[in-house]
Structure 1
Amino acid sequence: MALDRWIALILLGICLAYGYAAWFTMDSSLAPFMRRNPIWPSTFPKVLSVLGIITALIILLGLEKGEAKEGEIDYRRLGDYHIGQALTLLALMVAYALCLRPLGFLFSTTAFLIVGSYILGERKWLMMVPIALVATLIVWYLVQQVLGIYMRPLPGFFGG
């Protein structure tokens, strides 16, 4: 079996577990008044799990394969790909998740976007920094003010 199908099989297992949690365990702890809402906190995870399962099945069944074979991943030449870049981004994601609460959303997300774009090859600091700041502030405003979900904007030692 090709490498892309192995990855799809692993992602299928993750999506199935995520879907099980979204469909059966997340809604049991809802308050009674929230059960009448048309959109629950588990709505987006449910949609994500279904889309992930469909995508993984399409890859597993080979339905996305066309005539061209030049874009396939050759597992014998993994060293030719940017594995270091991908692993560094994964480590950055873990660091972001760990820093989110103690350092606050604004600093953590801005730093994640700047460092992530640097890892991916962007070197224009005058573009990276303002775009990261604006994107972070827009997401924080939407989540905090529009959705009403509190996210600690500043580090704990600033009283955030």
Structure 2
Amino acid sequence: MALDRWIALVLLGICIVYGYTAWFTMDGSLAPFMRRNPIWPSTFPKVLSIIGIVASLVILLGLEKGEEKIGDIDHRRLGDYFIGQALFLLGLMVVYALCLRPMGFVFSTSAFLIVGSFILGERKWHVMVPVALIATGAVWYLVQEVLGIFLRPLPFFMGV
């Protein structure tokens, strides 16, 4: 069995356990007044588990490949698969997580998006910077103002 099918099998097991938890154990501890709500805290995990199960089954059954045969990963030629870019992105994610609180959301997220797109090969700075700033500002506004969740926008030494 190919590597993608093994990963899909593992993800199928995880999604089944996650779905069982969402469908049967999360709803039992709800307060009585919350049981009349149309959307419960378990609604999103239920939807995620269903999507994960369907996607895993599609990969397991080979429905995503269609007529065209997609080659399996050749483990003898891992150097041909841009492992360096993947490792740099993983390192960048760790740095982003560590800088998020002290440097603030706006700076950390903008820097992550700009450096990440540079690692992936984008060289148009006049496109990268505005897109990163607009995306960061939109996400910050939605989380802070619409959802009402405090998200430190600026570094700790600038107040707020």
Match of 2:80 in 1: 80
Structure 2 CA distance for partners of 1:19 and 1:120, relative to 1, 3 Å: farther
Q: Which residue number in structure 1 is paired with residue 64 of structure 2?
A: 64
What does residue range 7-86 of structure 1 map to in structure 2 within 5 Å?
A: 7-16=7-16, 18-19=18-19, 22-23=22-23, 36-69=36-69, 71-76=70-75, 77-86=77-86
| Contact 1:3–1:75, Cα closer than 8 Å, also in 2 | no
Q: Secondary structure at the match of 1:74?
A: coil
**Residues 127/55 of structure 1: CA separation in 2 closer, same or farther (3 Å cut):** same
Q: Are the equivalent residues in 2 in contact too, given 1:15–1:53 (CA < 8 A)?
A: yes
Pairwise CA distance, 1:61 = 2.2
Mapped to 2, the partners of 1:35 and 1:144 lie a distance apart of 28
Which deviates further from its counterpart, 83-92 or 115-124?
A: 83-92
Rounded Cα–Cα distance in structure 2 between residues aligned with 1:155 and 1:12: 41
Q: Do the aligned residues in 2 keep the contact of 1:9 with 1:60 (CA within 8 Å)?
A: yes
Normalising by the residue count of structure 1, what TM-score does the alignment of the two structures yield? 0.79
Larger Rg: 2
Summarize the Cα distance change of 1:105–1:14 in structure 2 as closer, same or farther, 3 Å threshold: farther
TM-score normalised over the length of structure 2: 0.79
CA positional deviation for 1:55: 0.6
The residue type equivalent to 2:72 in the other structure is: I
Sort the Cα spacing of 1:15 and 1:85 in 2 relative to 1 into closer, same or farther, 3 A: farther
2-structure distance, mates of 1:141, 1:31: 31
Same amino acid, percent of matched pairs? 76
Q: Shift of the alpha carbon at 1:79? A: 2.4
Please give the root-mean-square deviation of Cα atoms over the aligned residues, in Å: 2.7
Match for 1:73: what amino acid? Answer: D
Higher mean C-alpha displacement, 31-40 vs 79-88: 31-40
Is 1:153 aligned to residue 153 of structure 2?
A: yes
Farther off after superposition, 19-28 or 103-112: 19-28
Shift in alpha-carbon separation, 1:80–1:48, aligned structure 2, 3 A: same
Change (3 A) 1:33 1:95: farther
Matched residue pairs, number?
A: 159
CA shift for structure 1 position 123: 0.8
SS in 1 for 2:149: coil
Q: CA deviation at 1:126?
A: 1.6
Q: Distance in 1 between matches of 2:72 and 2:87?
A: 17
